[in-house]
Amino acid sequence: MIAFGMLIAVLSKNKEK
């Protein structure tokens, strides 16, 4: 699902911070 991919991208960005 596209929504799922977006959620993962946000989580990944948060983890990088």
| Paired tokens of 5 | 């991919």
The per-residue pLDDT for 16 is 74
* Segment 1-17, tens digit of pLDDT: 899 999 999 999 998 76
Instruction: Give the CB-side neighbour count of residue 17, counting CA atoms within 13 A.
Output: 6
Instruction: Give the Cα separation of 13 and 17 in Å (integer).
Output: 7
The per-residue pLDDT for 17 is 67
Q: Rounding to the nearest 10 degrees, give the CA dihedral for residues 2, 8, 10, 14.
A: 180
The per-residue pLDDT for 5 is 94
